[in-house]
Amino acid sequence: MLETFYDSPEVIFRHFSHWMNSVRCIFNDTDMNDELNIWNNAIKGYQYSDDGSLVVVMQIAKATLIAILSKLETTEVFNTPYLNNEDVINAYKMAKLYVILHCYENSVRCFIEQILSREFGDNWWEKAKNTKTIPKVERVKDYENKNKWISPRGGSSPLYCIDWGDLVTIIRNHQNLFLPYIGDIKFIENRFEQLEGLRNIVAHHGVLPSDDDFQRVFISFRDWCRQIKSLYT
């Protein structure tokens, strides 16, 4: 019976709210506005039955989820050859992590370029490049020159042509310029080097099965934002 729960209504309501938030990213790229509106209205104005259960909101939630699952079954991405539904759900889950890493990595690139250009001017790359990064940049630029129909990686900055680990090396090589903003070089080394393996899995469309790995990425990104914001402003 929907009316019978071992937990209090508040606990049941909290569990369902957390669950909906955790899977909301799955529905972002599908036409789920009507269903999500039904759900949101239900949890905003949830009602208890006479015995204190969440019978109304639970019934609305059940109907909403049935409608959502019905739509998902006809969503093209869920019919990808050789992939099952779990594979596709993992893809949506990883997409959320990609957004974090995209913002994280590009924030680091912009940070590096701003600090170095302020110190060295327009020719800052001549000071920042090294024997490892030079061929990487030349290879990417050569490819882009030959294939002009493909959009460039990230504009004119050579930092978009090099790897995550190279960004750490640049900061380390010019740490006297960056220390006023990062506080301690180990702040960068510890977080960036730990993150590189996880970042590569996401970049190559792999799956992180552990929630602990997700938390490592989120915490590292949060630390970066807090540190740079507090020292840079």
Contact status, residue 162 vs residue 138, Cβ threshold 8 Å: no
Which of these three, 47, 79, 111, is where a domain ends?
79
Q: What is the largest CA-CA distance in the chain?
A: 74
Contact status, residue 208 vs residue 202, Cβ threshold 8 Å: yes
Domain that holds residue 103: 85-232
Task: Give the chain's domain count.
Answer: 2
Residues 215 and 102 in one domain: yes
More confident residue, 152 or 23: 152
Residues 42 and 120 in one domain: no
Residues 28 and 97 in one domain: no
- Examine residue 115 and state whether it is found in any structural domain, yes or no: yes
Residues 100 and 49 in one domain: no
Residues 104 and 66 in one domain: no
In order of 37, 162, 208, the CA distances from 204 in angstroms are: 35, 16, 11
pTM check: above 0.85? no
Euclidean distance between CA atoms 231 and 227, whole angstroms: 6
Euclidean distance between CA atoms 220 and 226, whole angstroms: 10
pLDDT of 12 strictly over 60: no
Angle (CA) 211 78 37, round 5°: 75
Contact status, residue 188 vs residue 213, Cβ threshold 8 Å: no
Residues 222 and 120 in one domain: yes
176-189: pLDDT as tens digits: 999 999 989 999 99
**Which tokens belong to 151?**
């959009």
Residues 219 and 124 in one domain: yes
- Examine residue 53 and state whether it is found in any structural domain, yes or no: yes
Give, for 54, the enclosing helix (H) or strand (E).
none
- Of 40-54, 74-88, 156-170, 200-214, the range with the lowest mean pLDDT is 40-54
Residues 92 and 176 in one domain: yes
Which of these three, 28, 50, 79, is where a domain ends?
79
Which of these three, 57, 79, 101, is where a domain ends?
79
Residues 95 and 209 in one domain: yes
Residue 4 is predicted with a pLDDT of 43
Picking from 181, 104, 178, 224, the residue whose alpha carbon sits closest to that of residue 169 is 178
Residues 182 and 201 in one domain: yes
- Examine residue 146 and state whether it is found in any structural domain, yes or no: yes
- Examine residue 36 and state whether it is found in any structural domain, yes or no: yes
- Examine residue 175 and state whether it is found in any structural domain, yes or no: yes
- Examine residue 4 and state whether it is found in any structural domain, yes or no: no
- Residue 2's pLDDT band (cuts 50, 70, 90): very low
Residues 36 and 116 in one domain: no
- Examine residue 38 and state whether it is found in any structural domain, yes or no: yes
69-118: pLDDT as tens digits: 666 555 677 778 898 878 888 888 888 889 899 999 999 999 999 999 99
CA dihedral for 126, 131, 133, 138, sign (positive or negative): positive
Residues 34 and 14 in one domain: yes
124-169: pLDDT as tens digits: 999 999 999 999 999 988 988 888 888 877 667 899 999 999 999 9
- Examine residue 1 and state whether it is found in any structural domain, yes or no: no
